[in-house]
Chain A
Amino acid sequence: MSVLGYLVIIFLLLLAVGVPVAVSMAIASIAAIAFGTDLPMVVVGQRMLAILDSFPFLALPFFVAAGVFMDRGGITQRLVDFSAIFVGRITGGLAQVLIGTNLVMSGISGAATADCAATGSVLIPALKRAGYSAAFASALTAAAATVGPIIPPSIMFVIYGAITNVSIGALFLGGVIPGLLMGLYLMIAAYVISKRRGYPKMVTPSWREVIRITIDALPALVMPVLVLGGIVGGVFTPTEAGAVAAVFCFLISTCVYRSLKLSEVPELLLQTGILTAAIMLIVSAASLIGWILARERVPDLLVVSFMNWTSSPIVFLACINIFLLLLGFFFEAVSLLILVTPVIMPLVYNYGIDPVHFGVMMCLNLTIALIHPPIGMNMFIVCAIGKVSVRDYTREVIPFLLVLILSLICVTYIPDLVLYLPRLLGG
C-alpha cells in the first residue's frame, strides 16, 4: 500500500471511531512514515515542533483570554442595554438587540462559542419572558453568534493567517464588512418573522438613561477601536494587539465593572491554556500531514487536475463552498480550517484568487456549520440554555441558515466586500 493509502485510510478510520483529531492525524502520519518510507521517526517530532515556535499563533491564546475575561466580566448586559438604544424600537426589538449585541461583542471576543454562551445565558431567558418562543430565541442566538468569527478580532483569522502567512491585520479588516452584512441580513430575517408573529417593540429609554447606558458601555466599546486601530496604524502586531486586549479586558472586568473576582482568574487562564493546547496540537499534527502530502506532491496533482477540469474561478469557488458546507456536517470548524487550508492554498493562488478574500470566505463558510445539526456547537449550547429540543430548534433556524448562506454567496462573488477596507487602509 502506498504512503497516501496508509495516511488516508488510517486517518478516517480513527477519526470515525472518536479518536481525538490530533491523535488521528499523528498516528496516520506515523504509520505512513513507518510503513511507506524509510525516513527516521524523529522527523515526526521535528515537523510537529517546528510549526509551534511561531509568534503569529500566539495571538490565539491572547484573544481567547480577552474573550473569557469579557464574557465573565458583566459586559453582556451593558452591551444589551446599549444596543437597545439603537434597535430596540424596531418590531421584534429584543431580537434585534440580540443581533446588535453580538455585532459589538464580536469586536471584543475572538471565539464564537464563548459569545454564544454569554449572550444566550442573558438573552434567551429575557426573550422568553418577552413572549418570544424558546425555539426562536435559541435559533436566533446561535445564528447571531456566527458573526463572532468574522468580525475582528477572530481566532479563525489568526489561525488561517498564521498557516498561510497572509497578513492577519488585512484579514481582520476584511472581515468587518462581511460581518456587518451578516448582521444586516439576520436583522431583516428577524424583522420579517417578528412582524408576522407580532413580537413586541421595546420601551424607549429616556435621554438620561441613554447617557448613563452609553457611559457604562464605553470601556467595552473602546476595545475594538483599540485593537483594529493599533494594528492598522502600525502601533503593534496582531499578536501584541491580542496581549493588549487581554490586559485591557482583565482591567475593565476586575477594576471598572468589578464583576470578575481575582479568585476566578486562574480558572479562566486555565481554560484558555487548555483550548489553546487542544487547537495547537491539531495545528501541529496537521503540519505533519501537510508535509507528507507535499512530499507526495498531492497539492501539485490537485492543481493540475482541477485546472484541467475548469479554468473558471467562479466554478472553483462554488465547488469549494459546497465541499466545505458538506464537510461541516461531520467535522468541527477549527479542525477543518487547519486541515484543509494548506492543501487548498496552491489552488487558490493558481486561480488568481486573493488569499485575504478566500480566507474570509472560508471562515464564513465554516462558521455556518456551528448552527446546524448534527454537530453544531452553538446549537448544543443554545438548546441547553433554552431547554428546547434539536428538532424544534432546527425548524426555527432554517430562515437564519438561509440568510447566512446568502451572505456567503455575496462574499464569495463580490470580493470587494472583503477587500475594500484592507485596500483603503493598507492593513
Chain B
Amino acid sequence: MPPVSSRFSRVAAAVDRVSSGLNACAEFILWVLVALTIVVTFVQVVFRYGLDSSLSWSEELARYLFVWVIFIGASVATRRRKHIFVEILVALMPRALRASAELLSIGASIVFFSVFAYVGWLLMLNAWQQYSTALDIRIAWVYATAPIGAGLSVLHLIAGLLQRWSGNEDPSPPLHPAVEGLE
C-alpha cells in the first residue's frame, strides 16, 4: 500500500482531471454561446431591414443565451482565476498571511457558489410549469444554468484546494491577471 500522502495526491490529481475535463467542455460551450448571441441579434437586424419581417423570438433567445453565458462563463472564470477582486491589501500582506487570505477567499467562494447552486436548483424546480412567451420553452431550462455553473465552480474550487494541500501545484496565484496575459 502506498503512503497516505501519495494516495491523497493521486486522489487530488484525479479530481483535478475531472475539473479540467469538464472545464474544457464548458469553454467550448461558452464560446459557441457567445457566437450564437451575436449571430442571433445580428440576424434580428438583418430580418427587420434586409428582409422586412421582424422575428418574434430572436430577442428572447438572445437574452436566454446571455444568462447561460454568464453562469457557464462564471465557472470558467473560477477555474482560470479571472474573477475580479481587490488586490491591494493582499499584495501588501506577508507571504504567510497571504496564504490564509487565499484560503479564506476559496472558502467564501465555495460557500457562495454552493448556496447559489442550491437556490438555483429550487428556482428551476419552481419554474418547471412556466413557459416563455415567444419561444414557448420551459423557463426552467434558462434557470438550469445557475445550478450547473455554480456547481462547476464549486468543483473547480475544491479541485484547486485539494491540489494545493497535496502539494501538486504552486499555490501562489498571479497577482495581476491582465499583466500576466501579456507575457
Contacts and interface: CB of A to CB of B under 8 A. Distances in A.
B183 interface: yes
B37 A53 contact: no
Interface string B59-101: 1001110110111111011001011111111110000000001
A215 B63 CA distance: 38
B179 A20 contact: no
A273 B30 contact: yes
Given A284-B70, A381-B182, A19 B104 contact: yes
B83 A281 contact: yes
Interface string A112-140: 01000100010000000000000000000
A277 B178 contact: no
Contacts of B108: 14, 19, 23-24, 27
A202 B63 CA distance: 49
Interface string A350-376: 000000000000000000000000110
B45 interface: yes
Contacts of B146: 45, 49
B77 A278 contact: yes
A57 B82 CA distance: 20
Interface class of chain A by DSSP: helix
Interface residues of A, number: 70
A358 to B, nearest CB: 24
Interface residues of B, number: 65
Nearest to A31: B111
A53 B119 contact: no
A30 B178 contact: no
B37 A23 contact: no
Interface of B: 27-28, 30-31, 33-35, 37-39, 41-42, 44-45, 49, 59, 62-64, 66-67, 69-74, 76-77, 80, 82-91, 101-102, 104-105, 108-109, 111-113, 115-116, 118-120, 122-123, 126, 142-143, 146, 176, 178-179, 182-183
10 contacts: A18-B85, A18-B101, A41-B115, A243-B38, A243-B41, A275-B82, A276-B70, A277-B77, A280-B70, A375-B86
Interface of A: 14-24, 26-27, 30, 41-42, 44-46, 48-49, 52-55, 57-58, 61-62, 65, 113, 117, 121, 235-236, 239-240, 242-244, 246-247, 266-267, 269-270, 272-282, 284, 330-332, 334-335, 374-375, 377, 380-381, 384-385
